[in-house]
Amino acid sequence: MSARGSPRGPRSVSPLTRTVGLRERQWAEYEKLCGELRLRPNTGVATAIQPRPSTAVCECGTPFLADNSLCPRCREPRQEQCPKELPPKSHEYDFSRLYLGDRHVRALAGALAVDRNIIAVMLPCCGMMDAGMVSLCEQLKRSEFLQFVDISENRFSYGGAEAAKRMVEGATSLVLLNAHDTCLQEQFCLRRGLPSKYMAISRSIRTTLHERALATK
């Protein structure tokens, strides 16, 4: 009930509050997996997904809680944040040039999978090999809205390439896969003298993405 005795309408959740809630769930999952793998949380990952305290303050002077749209003191609703205050690209994740290694990629992949609306993931040159690629691709292959993945300059081999193929087939909105300087690039395979099965997977992935891109036009 409001101060005048009339019932309030249904509470609307601002985009900012939804993003903070998402980050809290992702960070909890990441910390849990790091604990299971006996890893310290990576500071670069923390910068990207660790929730930050709210800075919004009610007219009565009371700070809003990060996950609450009502003032804890006077129960007045938080004013909707203007667009420039909203976290930009909250469903895009850029870990470019951040060295993680397979075990941290495994923990990060679990946290990324919490975001059901994930659009893009960039993990170039992050020290990812087969185990990390398999973990990442297994988590992302069910992402309905995923459109872009960057796995360039990582040294996975055939197991990782097969995982990438499964991801491309499962994430049906995916239209761009940057695999420059990996075993999924034909020039890389030729330079290294890799077996023809690598180029077969590369061509299969490119064909799937090309056909999908044409179908969306």
Overall size of the chain counted in residues: 217
Higher pLDDT, 196 or 60: 196
Residue 1, pLDDT > 80, answer: no
Q: For the segment 182-208, what is each residue's pLDDT rounded down to a tens digit?
A: 999 999 999 999 999 999 999 999 999
Q: How confident is the model at residue 20 (pLDDT cuts 50, 70, 90)?
A: confident
Gap between the Cα atoms of 191 and 21, Å rounded? 47
Q: For the segment 77-89, what is each residue's pLDDT rounded down to a tens digit?
A: 766 544 334 344 6
Helix (H, G, I), strand (E, B) or coil at 67: coil
Q: For the segment 120-162, what is each residue's pLDDT rounded down to a tens digit?
A: 999 999 999 999 999 999 999 999 999 999 999 999 999 999 9
Q: Which pLDDT score is estimated for 82?
A: 40
Q: How confident is the model at residue 18 (pLDDT cuts 50, 70, 90)?
A: confident
Gap between the Cα atoms of 130 and 174, Å rounded? 21
Q: How confident is the model at residue 34 (pLDDT cuts 50, 70, 90)?
A: very high
Residue 10, pLDDT > 80, answer: no
Residue 52, pLDDT > 90, answer: no
Gap between the Cα atoms of 189 and 167, Å rounded? 21
Among 112, 105, 89, which Cα is nearest to 27's? 112
Return the H-helix or E-strand segment holding 178: strand 176-178
- What mean pLDDT is predicted for residues 49-70? 63
Q: For the segment 161-174, what is each residue's pLDDT rounded down to a tens digit?
A: 999 999 999 999 99
Q: Which pLDDT score is estimated for 86?
A: 39
Most confident range (mean pLDDT) of 26-30, 46-50, 84-88, 90-94 is: 26-30
Q: How confident is the model at residue 181 (pLDDT cuts 50, 70, 90)?
A: very high
Whether 162 and 201 have beta carbons less than 8 Å apart is answered as: yes
Q: Which pLDDT score is estimated for 137?
A: 98
Order of all β-strands in the sheet with 120-122? 92-94, 120-122, 148-150, 176-178
